[in-house]
Amino acid sequence: MKPATQDQRQRSVTFTDIEQAAARIAPYIGPTPLLENPALNERLGLRLLVKAEPLQQTGSFKLRGATNFIARLTTEARGRGVLAYSSGNHAQGVALAAKRSGILARIVMPTSAPAIKVERTRALGAHVDLYEHYYSNRDSYIEQVSRETGMLIVHPFDHPDIVAGQGTVGLEIAAASGALGLRIDSVFVPTSGGGLLTGVSTAIRERAPDAAIFGIEPEGHDDFARSIKLGRVVEGSDPGRPTFCDALKSPRPGNLPLSIALSQGLGFGTASDADIEPAMRVLAEDFRVIAEPGGAIGMAAALKRAKHLQDQVVVVVVSGGNVDHDVFCKAVRQH
């Protein structure tokens, strides 16, 4: 798939873009809650706030960017239909946003995608192609499909309308924490292509400029952190490493998110599958939130660093909850 155009790479995404995206998607998408558990706060020695995106329609934040993108399409573009690649969350976001607008949607998904994500995408009316070589050849394949069908590609993270839509998560965090009279100290964000991370950081930095914002990636899939260090798009240190974070396996960050992040002074970290399993259990038991592995990775990082976050106001973005029943039960039963 082609990355953002040169014009898109040159422009950033501003707080105003995110505010406009929030107004644009408001008729279709409601805010998700910022949850806390006083007993857990006492045990950890900090004030922990959970942004519960699994409670969003389609079960993840991805609906925000897809809705903002499709809302801005011309009549001609709508008539062509939309095309996307996704392991599941962007797929459902595009499928629902397209359905609401009466637009045809076709989604390319890996054969290894969780069954629940495939089933829910089809239930939303999208045509699903399961592609065996998804992780090695998806870009050229989806470009070929676009040429053959004329359908417009909706990139999952490398487009300003997508980043601005995802930034509404940060806008809601800033508003909800402000209403509580809280100053945010640290924010942990699940990170893959970077659309959520840079959208959230742009929104929060406007309201809490001193907040430390961390992008958290699966071990071995640290392509965003490595790209920041080198100043150019590169792959992770061990991209073939197995992980059950299917939502966070993009082989490299987007050009646009990387260009935004390079100017923001963000921090980065990783978490292993073994770190994430107890985080999924904490979310289920203490917040009644069902999180998929990639959605819980920020919580895993925050719990690992709790001793270094004492007395802070810490926000964890839980990005999604589309997890197969067996995967979830196995994870939480082991801890």
For residue 295 the two structure tokens come to: 């959605």
Concatenate the DSSP letters of all residues of 208-267 into one string. -TT-EEEEEEETT--HHHHHHHHTS----SSTTS--S-GGG--SS--HHHHHHHTTTT-E
Which one is catalytic: 62, 117, 249, 304? 62
Q: Which letter, b or e, does each residue of 9-29 get, where b requires 16 or more Cβ atoms within 10 Å of its Cβ? A: beebbebebbbebbebbeebb
Q: What are phi and psi of 314, to 5 degrees?
A: -115, 130
Catalytic annotation present for 330: no
Q: What are phi and psi of 56, to 5 degrees?
A: -75, 155
**Termini Cα distance of the chain:** 40
- CA–CA dist 81, 163 (Å, integer): 21
For residue 249 the two structure tokens come to: 């396996």
Concatenate the DSSP letters of all residues of 28-90 into one string. T-PPPPEE--HHHHHHHTSEEEEEEGGGSGGGBTHHHHHHHHHHT--HHHHHH-EEEE-SSHH
Nearest one of 260, 254, 217, 212 to 239, comparing CA atoms: 217
Which one is catalytic: 60, 250, 259, 319? 319
For residue 175 the two structure tokens come to: 């508003």
Catalytic annotation present for 62: yes
Nearest one of 152, 155, 86, 84 to 118, comparing CA atoms: 86
- CA–CA dist 131, 114 (Å, integer): 13
- CA–CA dist 18, 164 (Å, integer): 5
Q: Which residues are the active-site residues?
A: 62, 319
